[in-house]
Every structure is written in C-alpha cells, then in structure tokens.
C-alpha cells in the first residue's frame, strides 16, 4: 500500500489461489475523476494484458480486470503507486470474483445514481502543453481561455456533477 494515499483495502469473495484465472473488482474513491484516471487504468491493464473495464460513477471509479492472481495483485499495487499525479485515492476496495470471460479492456460509459461521494479537485494552473496550444496561432485552441487537459486546468469551476466525462 502506498504511503502517498490513504487506502483501505477490503476483500470479499473467495481468496484466490495462484493458479487459474480470477476477476478482481476495484472501487476507487477519492479525487479520481477529471484527472486522467480512466485512461491511466486502460494503459496499465493493457500493458499487463488484463481484459476488463473501467468506468466513472457518482461514488468514484469502478474497475474489473481478469487474469492470474499474481498479475492482478501487481495491477492493484501499480494502480496506487503509479496513479496520475493530480489524483488522490482515499479508499480502494477489492473483491475477488469468478471470471466473466472478458476478451479486451474497455473504458465504459459512466453510470449514474446513488449518493455523490466522488471528490472534485480545485482548479489547477494551466500546464505547459496547454499553454503552448493557447499561444500557437496555428492551433485551433489559439487564445481559447478554457483550454485544459487531465493534467491541468479547471476542475471545480467546470464540473457540474459527477460522474464527470470530458467530451472528446
């Protein structure tokens, strides 16, 4: 468990053995929306060859991945250790389940409903990459004052509710 976040693990389901395929469900709570958390989870799962999915909800981020227990444990550890710099994990709940047979990893649509407990970060200064876009006359975002990305820019001032999905 990383000392950079205050994580609390709870495990349910059967305890996995080191043989066979398992499914790991994670509920990640904290400041994990609008900070590039889902793309990070996608990249990590893809790198480790884990099929499954990730999505936002009003309670945080939900993740399901399938694979060998050893790789799933590595995924959980790296999720905390390598998380996006602007994110903050308040709690991480894990449940071991029987596999569903996922074939690829995908970012799913957000789910709505339930109590809104996901945190929204305060506004952050514009990063160098976004500033470069704003100042480049050839860029379509030239002089556009609301340019932001998952590493910078407004959070609190533009997020009206969670789950938050940045339009493409």
Domain residue spans of the chain? 22-107, 122-160
22-107: in CATH 3.30.70.100: yes
Q: In this structure, what are the phi and psi dihedrals at residue 78, rounded to the nearest 5 degrees?
A: -70, -30
Average pLDDT over residues 56-71: 94
Task: Tell me the pTM.
Answer: 0.73
pLDDT, residue 137, reads 97
Q: Which two tokens stand for residue 142?
A: 């030239």
pLDDT, residue 19, reads 65
pLDDT at residue 85 above 80? yes
Q: What is the pLDDT of residues 17-31, one digit of tens each?
A: 666 899 999 999 998
Q: How far apart are CA 40 and CA 72, in angstroms?
A: 16
Q: Which residue has the higher pLDDT, 96 or 11?
A: 96
Average pLDDT over residues 127-144: 94
Indicate the average pLDDT of the chain: 83
pLDDT at residue 118 above 80? no
pLDDT, residue 5, reads 44
Q: First vs last Cα of the chain: how many Å apart?
A: 33
Residue keyed to tokens 């470069």: 132
Secondary structure of residue 69 in the 3-state scheme: helix
Q: What is the percent of the chain where pLDDT is above 90? A: 53
pLDDT, residue 4, reads 41
């Amino acid at each position: 468990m990383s000392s950079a976040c205050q994580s609390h693990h709870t495990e349910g389901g059967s305890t996995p053995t080191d043989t066979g395929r398992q499914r790991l469900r994670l509920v990640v709570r904290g400041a994990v929306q609008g900070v590039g958390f889902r793309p990070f989870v996608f990249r990590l799962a893809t790198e480790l060859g884990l099929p499954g999915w990730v999505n936002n909800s009003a309670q945080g981020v939900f993740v399901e991945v399938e694979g060998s227990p050893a790789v799933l444990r590595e995924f959980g550890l790296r999720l905390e250790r390598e998380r996006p710099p602007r994110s903050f994990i308040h709690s991480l709940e894990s449940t071991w389940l029987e596999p569903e047979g996922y074939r690829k990893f995908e970012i799913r649509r957000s789910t709505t409903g339930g109590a809104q407990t996901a945190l929204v970060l305060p506004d952050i200064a514009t990063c160098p990459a976004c500033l470069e876009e704003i100042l480049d006359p050839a860029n379509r975002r030239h002089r556009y004052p609301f340019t932001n990305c998952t590493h910078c820019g407004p959070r609190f001032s533009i997020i009206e509710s969670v789950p938050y999905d940045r339009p493409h």
